[in-house]
Chains A and B, each alone.
Chain A
């Protein structure tokens, strides 16, 4: 069964550095998402992406963040100038169509630690 993959599984970075988190969605999916989960807190929506542009973004997704689909398979989340509070688990998800009840398939996550 196809799965969403994410790399790296763990990343440690210094505050102020840029990080790029990578995701490979399920190949025939059209909609892509990033969520994050700060330790001990709930999973929070960051951004959704369709047709090479952002569909929706939360208030968390400020100018520090950007997403890109640089080629036909990868979907990346870039965090410029990381802050301590960016430390979290970042999940990528993809879904086939925009219809209601369309299942989102999640990747295993990237654990980001900002020192």
Chain B
């Protein structure tokens, strides 16, 4: 597709359930990022991929969070045993290379997660 595609756009789940969020980056973009944004808050970095490798997992809030990327393309962010504080918009972005001096990340529209 022309842009970064994320699914589902909205997800409501019960506390304790697992959820999977998917990101399909712009074709040819080697770098892929996951951020989350809670209501009224800034973007919180979670993890990024260079190809299929994740050099920096420091932002993952707990071991309930994991992510993978296969084929240098699609990425999945998995949250196990969801908690109410996991409720947020999960934003995926991609860039041609790890965004250094160009600074241009292309974001998807996000997956809004609500944990009841």
The answer to whether A and B assemble together is: no
